[in-house]
Structure 1
C-alpha cells in the first residue's frame, strides 16, 4: 500500500453534508479523483466510474467487515449467489407482486391529508418502503416499527463510523431474520408460502445455504430497500412538487413514469456511493492508486457528469438509459432493481392518479439527508 496521501476534501464537512449533490458537482470539476480519510479514493467522473464497474478483477467488492451476499463478493462466489438472488426478481414474480404493491401505495396516498403541508418522509416514503418490503417477503406487520427504528440507528452509526454500534446494530437486525427463519422451520409444512420460506430450500455449490448466508442475503435486500426506496420516494415527490411541468407531463401520459423516475433519480441520486478495493496498482483518471486501497464510486456525482449529460439538471426522458447509473452497472448491478422500479412506478402512478396537484409550501423548506443517506430528512408537500 502507498503512503497515505494528503486529503483533497472532507466528505463529512458541514458544507458538504448541507448539500451533497452541489458539493460533488464542485469537487468533480476541480478534482475528479479525490482522496479523503473517510472514503479513500472517491471517483467522480462518469467514464472513470464505468471503468471501475467494468473491471471487477481490479476493483474488488470483497470489502465488507462481515459476510455480505451477494454484493460483497467477487466471482466465482458472486456468480453462484447472484444466481440465487436473481431468481427472486423475475418478471413473473414482479407481475404477481404488483397488485399487492399497488394496494399499499393507494392506501397510503388515500390517507394523506389534503390542502395542508405534510412531511411525506415519515407519512409516505418510510412507511411505503417498510410495508412493501414486508409484503414482498411475507414478513409480519409487527416488524414495521422495529425495522423503522433500526434503520434510523443504522444510518446514524454509519455516518459516525461507530464500529461498535454498527456491530451491535447488525446483530440486532440478524436476530429479526433468524427468528423469522426459525419460526418457518418450526412450522414445517404449515409455514406461509412466501419468498422467505422459499429461500430455506435454496442451494449453492450443491449444498443448502447456511443461516449466515440466508441472513446476509435478506439483510442486503432489506437494508437497501428501507433506505434507498424511502430516499427515492422523497426525491421523486420533491421533484414533482417543484416542477409542475413534469407533473403535467406525467399526469397526461402515465406511460412515461418509469423513464421519468430513472431520470429524476439520475439528477438526485438516492444512493450516494459504493465501495471497492484495488487488487493491483492502477491509474484512474490520471491518479495512480496502489494495491489494497479503498475506492469509493460516487454515483451522485457520476450521474451528473456534464461530459455525458450536458446540463445535469435538465429533465429529459429521451436520454440513453445505458448512461444512467442509478442502479449500477456490470456484474454488480443492483440485485433488486426490478422490484425497485416496480415499486417506484406504482407509487408515482397512484400519487398522481389520486391527487390533482402536488406543491411545495413556500413557508417550509425541506431538510437534506446526510451521508450515507441521500434525498431528504424532512420534506413538506401539499397534496390536493
Structure 2
C-alpha cells in the first residue's frame, strides 16, 4: 500500500513561494510523504542526523552512479581523497587572481545609474565564466551550458526519467568532447583541472572516462545553478537592507560571513537525497528500508528550534549550525572555492556602486523548483 500524501511539492502555492511553504511544512508535518519527493525532511535536527549517519542513510539514492556524491564508505573515501586537493588552499590561492579579475570585468560591464536585471546581467554570466575558468573550458560553452541548466531544471521538475536521461546524455557528450581534445593534444594539453583528472588514479588504476565525466558533471552542475542563485539572492537582500549594504562597504571583511548568513535565510540549493538502508523512525514517520529521503536544506537552515527567528540576520551565529554546504563525510569539498567566488563578486559589486536599490514596480520573480532564488530580480544601480 502506498503511503498517504502529506503534501504536493509541485502545487502552485509551493512553487510560488517555496520558502514560506517549507516553513509551514516544518511546523505542520516535519517528515512528509509525497509521490514526487518521497519522504521530505524539514527539521534541522532530523537533517543533521541523516547527514551524520551514512550507515542508515545511504548516498546511493540515484539510478545513476555519481562520483563521489552517490557513494558510501569505504568506496567514497578513495574518491574523496582524490578530489579534495582540487580545492586545497594552494589551488584556491592560485585561482583567486583570476576570480577577482572576472568579477571586476563583469561588474564594469554593467550599466550605471540604470535598472539592471541581475540574473541575466550578472549572476548567470558570473557562474558560467567562473566555472569554465576553473575547469579550463572554452568561453564558447557559456551559452550551451546556460541552456542546458534550463533543460535540466525543467526535466527535474517533470520527474520524467526519459527527459532526465536525455539531458544527462547531452551534457556528458559535451564533457567527452572536451576530454578528447585533451587526449589528442597529449603533452600540449592545457594544464587545467580537466586535464589533471585524465592523469588521476584511484585504488591503483586510472580513472575511467565515465568516472571523469561524472566528477566534472557534478562540479559543473553543482556550481552553475547554485552560484547564480547565490548572487541573485545576496544582491536582492542587500538592496532591500540598505544598512547592511553600507556596513559591508565599510567593513568588507564581513562580506564572507554575511554571505553565509544571507544564504542560510534564503537557500540557493533546495534539497538533496538519501536512501534508507534499514527501517528507521524519523519524527512520527516509520520508514522502511530502501525508501528515498529528500533533505530540504531550505527548511532546515530556517528551523526556529535552532535559529530563533529564521529571518533575523545575525553575524554571531555558530557557523557549524549552518548547513549551507552540508555536513559530515559528504560536506561540499568545493565550499572554499564557492565562498571565494561569491565573496569576490559581492566585493566587486559593492566597490563599484554607491547603492543597490529595489525597483518598486518590478518585484523579483521566484525561480522554479528545483532552482532556488530568482528567475528575475531587477535592481537600481547607482555609481560609486
Query: What TM-score, normalized by structure 1, do the two folds share?
Result: 0.98
Choose which of 112, 116, 141 in structure 1 pairs with 2:110: 112
Q: Are 1:354 and 2:352 counterparts?
A: yes
SS of the counterpart of 2:155? Answer: helix
- The gaps in structure 1 that reach 5 residues or longer are none
1:153 & 1:309 partners in 2: Cα distance? 35
For the residues of structure 2 that align with 1:218 and 1:259, how far apart are their CA atoms? 28
Q: Residues of 1 paired with 2:244 and 2:167: CA distance?
A: 40
What is the match of residue 4 of structure 2?
Answer: 6
Residue 142 of structure 1, aligned match among 97, 119, 140: 140
Structure 2 residue 258 is the aligned partner of structure 1 residue 266: no
Q: CA deviation at 1:81?
A: 0.8
Structure 1 position 120, deviation (Å): 0.7
Give the structure 1 partner of residue 24 of structure 2.
26
For 1:371, what is the secondary structure of its paired residue? coil
1:80 to 2:81 alignment: no
Measure, in 1, the Cα distance between the counterparts of 2:99 and 2:77. 29
In the other structure, the counterpart of 2:288 is: 290
| Separation of aligned partners in 2, 1:191 and 1:356 | 44
Local SS of the residue matching 1:12: coil
Identify the match of residue 372 of structure 1 among 370, 373, 384: 370
Query: In the TM superposition, what whole-angstrom CA distance separates every residue of 1:135-187 from its partner, at most 9, and x where no partner exists?
Result: 00111111111111111111111111122121111111111111111111110
Q: Please give the secondary structure, in 2, of the residue aligned with 1:88.
A: helix
d(CA) in 1 for partners of 2:278, 2:11? 31
Q: Paired residue for 1:129, among 121, 127, 130? A: 127
Structure 2 counterpart of 1:71: 69
Judge which range, 138-147 or 10-19, deviates more: 138-147
For the residues of structure 1 that align with 2:360 and 2:97, how far apart are their CA atoms? 36
In 2, Cα distance between equivalents of 1:45 and 1:9: 16
Q: Distance in 1 between matches of 2:114 and 2:156?
A: 34
Query: 2:236 matched to which residue of 1?
Result: 238
Give SS of 2:4's match.
coil
Cα distance in 1 for partners of 2:224, 2:247 equals 29
Of residues 270-279 and 64-73 in structure 1, the stretch that sits farther from structure 2 once superposed is 64-73
Runs (4 or more) in structure 1 with deviation over 6 Å come to none
Q: Which residue of 1 aligns with 2:321?
A: 323
Residues 22-81 of structure 1: CA distance to partner in whole angstroms, max 9, x if unpaired?
000011111111111111111111111111111010000111121211111111111111
- For the residue of structure 1 that corresponds to 2:87, the secondary structure is coil
Q: What's 1:311 paired with?
A: 309
What are the residue-to-residue correspondences of 1:36-115 with 2, within 5 Å? 36-115=34-113
Gaps of 5+ in 2: none
Residue matched to 1:170: 168
Q: How many residues align?
A: 382
Select between 113-122 and 288-297 the one with higher mean Cα deviation: 113-122
**CA displacement at 1:207 relative to structure 2:** 0.2
| Residue 152 of structure 2, aligned match among 133, 151, 154 | 154
Query: How big is each residue's C-alpha offset from its partner over 1:206-234, in whole Å with a ceiling of 9 and x where there is no partner?
Result: 00000000000000000011111011111
Quote the Cα distance in structure 1 between the aligned partners of 2:59 and 2:22. 23
SS for the counterpart of 1:87 is helix
